[in-house]
Structure 1
Amino acid sequence: MIKLVAFDVDGTLRDRDFLPESTRLALQRLKDQGIMLALCTGRSEFEMTSLREELDIDWAITCNGCHIGYRGKTVFGTAFHAGTIQEWLQHADQLKHTLLLYGAEGMFTNQQHAPYFLQAQQEIGFMDPILLEKTDKVPDIYQCIVFCDGEQEQLYVGEERNQYYMHRWRTWALDINPSGMNKAVGLQKLIDHLGITTDEVAAFGDGLNDLEMLQSVGMGIAMGNADESLKPKARYVTRSLREDGIAYAVDTWIL
């Protein structure tokens, strides 16, 4: 019996500002059956506040598994070493790269109105980050997005690239997370905290950063609009987001 369902956000629960009414109703049916819900996303806790509250979801696993919050309050967190972030900020300043840094209670950047960031903001939506001055103390950071191409990423991860979890979601944009972290690791921490088993968990996703999560749970479900290389790794493939894919899967396989 499924006791917890985890949802990726972009491309799974919603497409920019579009969230199907059928999805809202399906989430309510899950809650009516006593099933717990969690967001599980590469975005930050700060960005997810309004959606989590709108959908009345208690748990959010954010920053590709590096931060776990309950109603917005940190329960578990795996942050970068502060020296690493300072070093990356120096690189970015020299190379004129834009960094987007995810903390628990805010998003930060080294430069505003940069072209790649503005393009990402237009394509998938980002809240406006806080500009970091060189003298500012940087808070705990759980994820860094570097707006650079594949060759330039070496300037940040170098020979230690295996020490990070990386997800390139555009040719010019790369998520970097601390060593050993991904959505499956974050979700497992929540599973252990709740005292349930992986067989009692279902998860929905559409992107390659959902791969480990879908393979780690009892019922991994890929969206119909998912990356084609993700679909064979899932237990089920549902319809697309805009074809009521969440509702179809909830009624067909979970309830």
Structure 2
Amino acid sequence: MTNLKNIKVVVSDLDGTLLNPQHRISDYTKSIFQELHNQNYLIVVATGRHHLDAMAIIETLEVPVYLVSSNGARIHSPEKEELFAFDLESDIVKAALNVEIDPEITVVLFKENVWQTNRVNERLNAFQAELKYRPELVDYKTLEDFSAIKIFFSCDNHEKLVALKDAVLANSSDNLHHAFSLPTCLEFMDKSVDKAVAIEKVLEKEGFTLDQAVAFGDGFNDVQMLAAAGKGLIMGNAPALLKETLPNLEVITSNAEDGVAKYIASKILNKEFAVNEA
């Protein structure tokens, strides 16, 4: 078991973890992360969101943050300098989409400045307080350039996404791996891309190791990150299957209850600050 006194790095997912159910960072969470910065902890946000979308969120913390976005396909410094980028080649994406896709499923290709989609999906738009990363309606039958940061599918029917996952992997398992960031969200990335791999790049740059990191997450795109960290913590609102997948990890209170901030205040920061802010 990792001694929390050895923790020097705090890593957190966004949706379902650092963000509350309204997709916002609470004032309490902001105050805790500002104290982390004051006490010289390295802060890393690791999310499936696109970097343009995520940057607008982490700016509200008002502290330096390394950003791992698109599940590890992009890394940005606290100064917003791009440190790492990996895109899927057009032919690989085109092959992955060359399957029967249920008309209820929203298809999204994450591009550098827009997300190309086959349909308007207001629920996806609602994840952004302001549309910093805008959708572009396209017809995939006539699209020429399929290159993308990642492939994203959304549907309320989880079983339809499971069937689609199986179909895509039947064609593309040599090039892609998948994750359900939410039961309603299926994502495909290059096999070399993962949050844990990207976080390790950041920590190596800063002179730390994963053993010195505490990580918080709630989705299956967090599995490797949670397993690799010195202390991995699962949100109480995470799917039961994730908790079963990582049975040795501690489950904390939900994102609706500021679970990340409360854990940091009580377990990592000094007691005086935790008592004053709790």
1:45 aligns to what? 51
Tell me whether 1:25 sits opposite 2:31 in the alignment.
yes
CA contact 2:96–2:171 (8 Å) conserved in 1: no
Of 40, 43, 66, 1:34 maps to 40
Q: Aligned to 1:176, what secondary structure does the other structure show?
A: strand
Q: Which string of whole-angstrom CA distances, capped at 9 and with x for unpartnered residues, describes residues 66-113 of structure 1? A: 211124332112221222224456668x9766421223x423214232
Q: Which string of whole-angstrom CA distances, capped at 9 and with x for unpartnered residues, describes residues 48-81 of structure 1? A: 1211222134311111122111243321122212
2:84 aligns to what? 76
TM-score (normalised: structure 1) = 0.83
Report the residue type matching 1:99 in the other structure.
Answer: V
* Runs of at least 5 residues in structure 1 that lack an aligned partner in the other structure: none
1:101 aligns to what? 109
Q: Aligned to 2:115, what secondary structure does the other structure show?
A: strand
Tell me whether 1:112 sits opposite 2:119 in the alignment.
yes
* Runs of at least 5 residues in structure 2 that lack an aligned partner in the other structure: 1-5, 270-278
2:256 aligns to what? 242
Provide the aligned length of Structure 1 versus Structure 2.
248
Give the whole-Å Cα distance in 1 for the aligned partners of 2:74 and 2:248: 24
Identity %: 25
CA contact 1:46–1:107 (8 Å) conserved in 2: no
Tell me whether 1:146 sits opposite 2:153 in the alignment.
yes
Of 195, 215, 231, 1:183 maps to 195
Q: CA RMSD in A?
A: 2.8
CA contact 2:72–2:197 (8 Å) conserved in 1: yes
TM-score (normalised: structure 2) = 0.77
Shift of 1:235: 4.0
Report the more deviating stretch, 49-58 or 21-30: 49-58
CA contact 1:59–1:68 (8 Å) conserved in 2: yes
Q: Aligned to 2:163, what secondary structure does the other structure show?
A: coil
